[in-house]
Structure 1
């Protein structure tokens, strides 16, 4: 089995140590020759990288090399895989994404509604540059992108690189949900076979089977409605915000019992409730800054000080394992099934062909082979078409520098729905994103 050269783009991320532990856990399935971190923030990356050196020395001695760099050529040359996890503007801009909509009683969230739009407009240009840089030095590398908001980023990359068959956009949220399904059933996540359709952070599980073909969907529904639903993935299991999010699945299932919902649908189905639960001074971004970011940096400092991992608790999470098993299936032609983001092209037969949809696919060395979904019901189709229009208008606006299309996008979005409110939010977001967004043109009002 060929050992792979991996570059992690965004090496300073607070998720990186979890990814490293997952690479160690999965090394038999995805053996590595080298790991390289690349980040434009040298100081942030260095702390994570120095801790990683210690972890790898202890737990991955068979690795030939590990290094970290801010030089693109050094990072990407000879790479077989690039895992991309960038956050343009950092958590400080995420906090603004969340606070500004809340000021106008609209959903303030990282990837949904106005916050998702703001983050998407910051991410598009940097993601295009990342792909171009990788292709300059590693033309045949697989690029696995899980930069958020994945739906908007995937749409932009579809337009910018229409013939690049080795870019795959993926999200670990369906897997994080399936970890909880597996716990309910007394199984491992890898024992489950999902049927799923939608857009990223906007989809439904139609069925869950085991590998013997037994349908387990009704067992899961009954367990959730009888006993509730809680997160089980190690990264979110004790997080109060995620516990509330998973609890909301019970409400969604009671209101709309046909399918098992993605947790993110709460922001679109119950926007007023979501606004009421948020605190301007304690946004999700602030919780991450004071929680995961502080915890990871403290852990890194301890590892570096001790030159050992004996005094810290390192955990494997589904975020990393999912990405790695996806990579392994692509690298070794395994044909394993994962939920990924691909161009529709008739998969959902009553949805436009150029939508970037999230569906199960067999992953081979020739890329994803997605499974057809067929027609979807009117309710889900109507919701998806509104969200899809929002996503496409945001990407249109980035390319065309068009203020009016962003206003249209926010007015369409179920987290806003109100044109005057959309304009207020948009104008505030433009002001704080001057260093990140393209300069926008605005059509003048018609004079009477």
Structure 2
């Protein structure tokens, strides 16, 4: 029997990740049939650069799929089953400021961690809520699969502001690390592993990794991480220097609790001085992306459009993003897929705030996620998570209440910031550059 086919809108159609995601969706049509694919962005010029190439990919690989790129919310969100959201409010120009302003004061300058991540969160909340409202207005039965950053703050905002909405928040970082674990073990796929994990987004730990026969794989991975971090002995793919350093740094992060395996983002909280020392305050990760991937993707899209063919295109399928299809399939076909999602705790972690948005394994079917109980967590992780979840909640409260005081409190509560004076200096600079994006704080 022919499977039902689905209509999708990718919100953030002008993203440099969109072409790879479109190619990934086209490569998975047997598992997840698509009848209509739309791109939506509020930056028409940027989206058009991407959309021209995506239209050619679709014509070549699946001409039956209807394609539309639009800046009109009604066109974009009408008659859709899934909204795949990966927006970046303020684009890379604002990310650059998120990174450089904290570094000016000797504080971690990073996209989702520390003051820069909180600034990004303050911009993202309104943008994601707007997308939810468009979806519910024009396609009230649709699901939103949100992988917009910073996912922890966005998830808390959706919990507070749209608690009954059909939104699932998911992050690709644990998936990327699990891909590396599979390489370290010599497995063909991370899907050969069954994992247990808990934490907050970009702030968590693996406690169990087994193969499908139940054999314990943790000792072998832990032995490797002690020596090499999350760097496979034979690195097959070319990894950017900044990411290589991140995966190597897992050696140091791992030492804080050798019974588990850490998310790499914990490096920013456990070793903030090291992160600042290796950063160039004049040329940050945002500059690397703008000069690297952004120029490359836009150039390749232009080449595809000019040739009206993808034959010579170097844009590749984003296999890494196949988790998006896994999630959509689980919702559509009730597969019961086991996936790491960001969900309201509600007792999943027994000795932790029930209202916290935690990242844990869930079984996903057509009614949404069913979290797998974690039980009690150790005092070390509990203390760290209580501090970090308070940061995230204060940011959302600051946005809702337009509160300068609460945003200052959020920044000083971040483990990356040394004192309240420095937090205030950073906050005042961030307010100045975010006047077009944040609520006016008082």
Same fold (TM over 0.5): yes
Task: Kindly indicate whether the alpha-carbon contact (under 8 Å) linking 1:235 and 1:317 is maintained by their aligned counterparts in 2.
Answer: no
Give the direction of change, closer, same or farther, for the CA distance of 1:117–1:75 in structure 2 (3 Å limit).
Answer: same
Show the counterpart of 2:239.
238
**RMSD of equivalent CA atoms:** 1.5
Q: Which digits, 9 at most, give the CA deviation of each residue in 1:151-185, with x for residues without a partner?
A: 00110111111122x21011011000001011111
User: For the residues of structure 2 that align with 1:139 and 1:437, how far apart are their CA atoms?
Assistant: 28
Q: TM-score, normalised by structure 2?
A: 0.97
Q: Is it true that 1:174 corresponds to 2:174 in the alignment?
A: yes
Show the counterpart of 1:109.
110
User: For the residues of structure 2 that align with 1:31 and 1:186, how far apart are their CA atoms?
Assistant: 31
Show the counterpart of 1:219.
220
Give the direction of change, closer, same or farther, for the CA distance of 1:376–1:318 in structure 2 (3 Å limit).
Answer: farther
Per-residue deviation, 1:235: 13
Q: Is it true that 1:9 corresponds to 2:25 in the alignment?
A: no
Secondary structure, counterpart of 1:139 in structure 2: coil
User: For the residues of structure 1 that align with 2:389 and 2:293, how far apart are their CA atoms?
Assistant: 32
Give the direction of change, closer, same or farther, for the CA distance of 1:335–1:237 in structure 2 (3 Å limit).
Answer: farther
Superposed, which structure 2 residues align to 1:11-410 within 5 Å? 11-61=13-63, 63-164=64-165, 166-187=166-187, 188-230=189-231, 237-410=238-411
Task: Kindly indicate whether the alpha-carbon contact (under 8 Å) linking 1:175 and 1:318 is maintained by their aligned counterparts in 2.
Answer: no
Secondary structure, counterpart of 1:28 in structure 2: coil
Give the direction of change, closer, same or farther, for the CA distance of 1:192–1:347 in structure 2 (3 Å limit).
Answer: same
Structure 1 portions without partners, runs of 5+: 442-448
Deviates more, 1:354-363 or 1:220-229: 220-229
Q: Which digits, 9 at most, give the CA deviation of each residue in 1:242-279, with x for residues without a partner?
A: 11110111121234312111111100000000000110
Q: Which digits, 9 at most, give the CA deviation of each residue in 1:365-407, with x for residues without a partner?
A: 0100110001000101110000000000111111111111111
Give the direction of change, closer, same or farther, for the CA distance of 1:424–1:174 in structure 2 (3 Å limit).
Answer: same
Structure 2 portions without partners, runs of 5+: none
Task: Kindly indicate whether the alpha-carbon contact (under 8 Å) linking 1:76 and 1:134 is maintained by their aligned counterparts in 2.
Answer: yes
User: For the residues of structure 1 that align with 2:413 and 2:90, how far apart are their CA atoms?
Assistant: 26
Q: Which digits, 9 at most, give the CA deviation of each residue in 1:44-69, with x for residues without a partner?
A: 001111001111122223x3311111
Give the direction of change, closer, same or farther, for the CA distance of 1:50–1:231 in structure 2 (3 Å limit).
Answer: farther
Show the counterpart of 1:421.
422
Give the direction of change, closer, same or farther, for the CA distance of 1:227–1:104 in structure 2 (3 Å limit).
Answer: closer
Per-residue deviation, 1:226: 3.5
User: For the residues of structure 2 that align with 1:422 and 1:227, how far apart are their CA atoms?
Assistant: 35
Per-residue deviation, 1:227: 3.9
Per-residue deviation, 1:318: 4.4
Task: Kindly indicate whether the alpha-carbon contact (under 8 Å) linking 1:394 and 1:409 is maintained by their aligned counterparts in 2.
Answer: yes
Secondary structure, counterpart of 1:40 in structure 2: coil
User: For the residues of structure 2 that align with 1:422 and 1:363, how far apart are their CA atoms?
Assistant: 40
